[in-house]
Amino acid sequence: MTLSRRRFLQMTGSGALAGALGWPALSMAQNGQGTPIGMQASWVNDAEFLGYIVARHKGFYADQGLSLDYRSGGPDVIPEGALLSNRAEIALTTVESTLKAVTQQGAPLVIIGTQYQKNPAGIVSLASNPIEKPEDLVGKVLAVPPVNRLAVEAMLEANGISPDDVRIVPYAYDPTPLLKGEIDASLDFVTNVPYTIGLQGEKAVSFLLYDHGFPVFNDTVVVTRDTLETRRDDLVAWLRASRQGWQENFKDPAYYPPLFADSFFQGNGRSIENEIFFNQAQKSLIESPDGIFSMAESDIERCLTALERIGIQASRDNFDTSLLEEIAA
Looking at residue 328, its pLDDT comes to: 79
Is the pLDDT at 30 greater than 80, yes or no? Answer: no
Secondary structure (3-state) at 149: helix
Percent of the chain with pLDDT over 90: 88
> Would you call 215 helix, strand, or coil by DSSP?
coil
Burial of 245 (0-12, 13-18, 19+ CB in 10 A): buried
pLDDT at 169 over 50: yes
pLDDT at 173: 87
Give the SS3 label for residue 72: coil
Q: Which residues of 12-31 are buried (b: 16+ CB within 10 A; e: fewer)?
A: beeebbeebeebebeebebe
Instruction: Report the pLDDT value the prediction gives residue 9, as an integer from 0 to 100.
Output: 35
pLDDT per position as a tens digit, 99-118:
999 999 999 999 999 999 99
pLDDT tens string 40-96: 999 999 999 999 999 999 999 999 999 999 999 998 999 999 999 999 999 999 999
How far is the C-alpha of 30 from the C-alpha of 53, rounded, in Å? Answer: 10
Q: What is the pLDDT of residues 122-139, one digit of tens each?
A: 999 999 999 999 999 999
pLDDT band at 277 (very low <50, low <70, confident <90, very high): very high
Q: Beta-carbon neighbour count of residue 328 at 10 Å? A: 9
**3-state DSSP call for residue 262?**
coil
Q: What is the chain's mean pLDDT, rounded?
A: 91
The pLDDT confidence band at residue 33, using thresholds 50, 70 and 90, is: confident
pLDDT score of 23 more than 50: no
Would you state the pLDDT for residue 266? 96
Cβ atoms within 10 A of the Cβ of 227, count?
A: 22
Q: Are 227 and 110 in contact (CB under 8 A)?
A: no
Place 28 in a pLDDT band, splitting at 50, 70 and 90: low
H or E, element range at 27: strand 27-29
Q: Phi/psi at 211 (nearest 5 deg)?
A: -85, -5
Cβ-proximal residues to 182 (8 Å cutoff; 6+ apart), any chain: 141
Burial 78-113 (b: 16+ CB within 10 A, else e): bbbbbbbeebbbbbbbbbbbbbbbbbebebebbbbb
Amino acid at 10: Q
> What pLDDT band is residue 260 in, cutting at 50, 70 and 90?
very high
pLDDT value at 1 more than 90 = no
